[in-house]
Amino acid sequence: MRSVRARAALGATAVVTVALVAAGLAVLLVLGAKLTDQTDLRAEVAAQEVASQVAVGVAYEKLELPDKDDNPVQVVTEDGRLAAVSEKLEAISGAGSPRVRPAAPGTAPAEDDDESDGPGRGEVSRDEPRMSTGSATVDGDTGEYRFAAVEATGPDGRTVTVYAGAPLSGEREAVGAVRDAMLTGLPVLLVIVAGVTWLVTRRALRPVEGIRREMAAITASEDLSRRVPAPGTGDEVDRLAVTTNETLAALEGSVERQRRFVADASHELRSPIASLRTQLEVGAAHPELLDLDGAVADTVRLQDLAADLLLLARLDAGERPGSARVDLSALVRREVARRADRDRIPVTAEVADGVQVAGSRGQLGRVLGNLLDNAQRHATGSVAVTLRAEAGRAVLEVSDDGAGVPEAERERIFERFVRLDDARSRDDGGAGLGLAIARDVARRHGGTLTAGRAADGGALFRLVLELT
């Protein structure tokens, strides 16, 4: 069953069915118990009336038995003989005796003319009457009865048990009527529940269907600028629509950045490739004019750009930096020493000992190298590097004495292929990927990389990482 509406309707109907059946059974049991108690009470009252007559000494043959056909009565002596019985009783079971005719005359208590010498008034047992279920045939009608047994002692000291019955036909009819009403109403109620659930679910899922159709249209058109309709109800469906639109917006931005990245990468790759091809073609036609140094420089530039693009691709794919312990102090000292003899702008370093962080040694070295390359590209006379531990964090700062970065551009310079106008005019300007790579690596190491203003007016880049 693929329809959510059908599954919801079926599930709700099943739950309601179980609940109604359980409730119906409970109602029938309670109703049956209450009606049985009432039947027991009627039987007990009838038995008490006859027992009271026995207690005052009324002879068995003169007992006024209930004249109702639905109250059969037996009076049974201690030795099991039947002393009195209802006139219309034809058969009985479950009471004191299966017989329906009293014993021979003489079994009744003898009349005592001298009442003053007799034992006085008898008594009716105050114990709870014993209840039993049986059947009886009264005036040709057979039915199920509840019998109450009450003991009574006559003035002569003889004890008898009075059995009086009350029919269960009324209880059975009432329970049957309620059961039939439930069985008749249950299917109708279940149809109503299923229909209402279907309609409510359909109405609730209508926005979901709208979201699905719009997503299908977006997939077919590949237009990520479209958005799914949000019902504005504030419920789960509305939150789903909002989240879907946020996902589409993020996906649109990601695709746009990817397209811009590909376009910028193509542009950056085109320049060194074209220059290298031109030099090689000139060298092939006129070997004496071949600029070998220029060809090598273009090849190196092309190689560096390809390496940057590969690293960015790995970072975008979610490459984890690892958790190895890196001695940042040694890494900074080695990088500064490597640049001492070959760079036109000297680098001074102030490095604290024992500063260690967790991550990739190669990627952190790339961050430091990119920051130093950027500083030396824009500095006029000096570049300074400081490393210190501060409040549980490693703080690495690279500053230069150049023109600095305008405050409005301090975030934009970390975007890919972004170079400020003055940097584009330089022949040795980079491709605009160094700072973007540095920030991506910093974030994947759980740190931050920000740009600011140095004390002498130049640019200041601050890398902050957690210490290990």
Question: In the prediction, which pLDDT does 421 show?
Answer: 53
Task: Give domain status of residue 139, yes or no.
Answer: yes
pTM: 0.51
| Together in a domain, 330 and 308 | no
Task: Give domain status of residue 368, yes or no.
Answer: yes
Total domains, the chain? 3
Low-confidence ranges of the chain (pLDDT < 70): 1-2, 67-69, 104-121, 342-343, 420-431
- Give the angle 34-38-42 at the CA atoms, nearest 5°: 170
CA distances to 177, 191, 310 from 253, in Å: 70, 50, 21
| Cα-Cα end-to-end distance for the chain | 56
Task: Give domain status of residue 24, yes or no.
Answer: yes
Question: In the prediction, which pLDDT does 198 show?
Answer: 87
Question: In the prediction, which pLDDT does 116 show?
Answer: 38
Question: In the prediction, which pLDDT does 132 show?
Answer: 92
The neighbour count for residue 362, using CB atoms within 10 Å, is 12
| Together in a domain, 284 and 341 | no
| Together in a domain, 164 and 24 | yes
CATH (domain of 387) = 3.30.565.10
Residue ending a domain, choose from 256, 284, 316: 316
| Together in a domain, 46 and 157 | yes
| Together in a domain, 27 and 164 | yes
Residue ending a domain, choose from 152, 175, 198: 175
Residue environment code for 97-127, b if the CB has 16+ CB neighbours within 10 A, otherwise e: bebbebbeeebbbeeeeeeeeeeeebbbbee
Task: Give domain status of residue 71, yes or no.
Answer: yes
Task: Give domain status of residue 383, yes or no.
Answer: yes
Query: Pairing mode, if any, of strands 383-390 and 393-400?
Result: antiparallel
Collect contacts of 419-424 with beta carbons under 8 A, ≥24 apart.
Answer: 423/377, 423/378
The boundaries of the domain holding residue 299 are: 236-316
Question: In the prediction, which pLDDT does 206 show?
Answer: 84
Do 62 and 83 touch, CB atoms closer than 8 A?
no
Tell me phi and psi for residue 396, to 5 degrees: -110, 125
| Together in a domain, 120 and 269 | no
Task: Give domain status of residue 129, yes or no.
Answer: yes
| Together in a domain, 168 and 107 | yes
Q: Which residue has the tokens 């790339």?
A: 366
Give CA–CA dist 245/387, Å, rounded. 44
Question: In the prediction, which pLDDT does 354 show?
Answer: 92
| Together in a domain, 307 and 336 | no
Task: Give domain status of residue 408, yes or no.
Answer: yes
| Together in a domain, 309 and 338 | no
Amino acid at 138: V
| Together in a domain, 83 and 109 | yes
| Together in a domain, 13 and 94 | yes
Task: Give domain status of residue 214, yes or no.
Answer: no
